[in-house]
Amino acid sequence: MMLTPYELSENPISEQFLPFRLNREIFAIESRYVTAVSGMLKISPLPGTPEYCRGIAKVEGKIIPVIDMSLKMCRTDSSSQDNRRIIIVSLDGVQSGFIVDTLVEGVPMSFGDSDEDRMDFPKDTGPYCKGCIEISGNPAMILDCKKILMEDSIFDLAQLVS
């Protein structure tokens, strides 16, 4: 499977996001963490990891842990979908993969530095959400990559296998 390198658009606005769907909800992650997008890869299960950690995959010669974001965020498995993607993210030089249902069509959404661009954010959205933006008239929760990877030692696992 070929990786599609992910490049930021030539937009001077400071904050950019990659939007995606999990079940019927739209989420987004900050583009600065995204290095590539891939179709589904062969994933080898890894015993002793949380259910949402699907296992490890080989990406461009490196072994990375792969997290099923539907299980992590929505607690439902949507693995039967053929158009699922893996978003390759990098945190402090250590890569991991996020399985998502689909990417939201279009370019990454960009917003300026002002808080006016962000929507009101419900308090009960969970520990991984750090804000809310509007994408094509729909609300999208911004996920905190650091919190997702730091929980349950996924970051430590990524360091170990890399």
pTM: 0.79
CB 89 within 8 A of CB 32: no
For the sheet containing 53-59, what is the strand order?
3-5, 34-39, 85-91, 94-100, 62-68, 53-59
Return the higher-pLDDT residue of 38 and 161: 38
Residue 107 pLDDT: 45
CB 125 within 8 A of CB 139: no
Residue 101 pLDDT: 92
For the chain, give the mean pLDDT. 78
Residue 132 to residue 142: CA distance in whole angstroms? 6
Would you kindly state where each structural domain of the chain is located, as residue ranges?
Answer: 15-161
pLDDT at 100 over 90: yes
pLDDT in tens, 19-36: 999 888 889 999 999 999
Q: Which pLDDT band, with edges at 50, 70 and 90, does 158 fall under?
A: low
> Which parts of the chain fold into alpha helices (H)?
69, 145-150, 154-161
pLDDT in tens, 48-71: 888 888 999 999 888 999 999 998
- Classify domain 15-161 by CATH number: 2.40.50.180
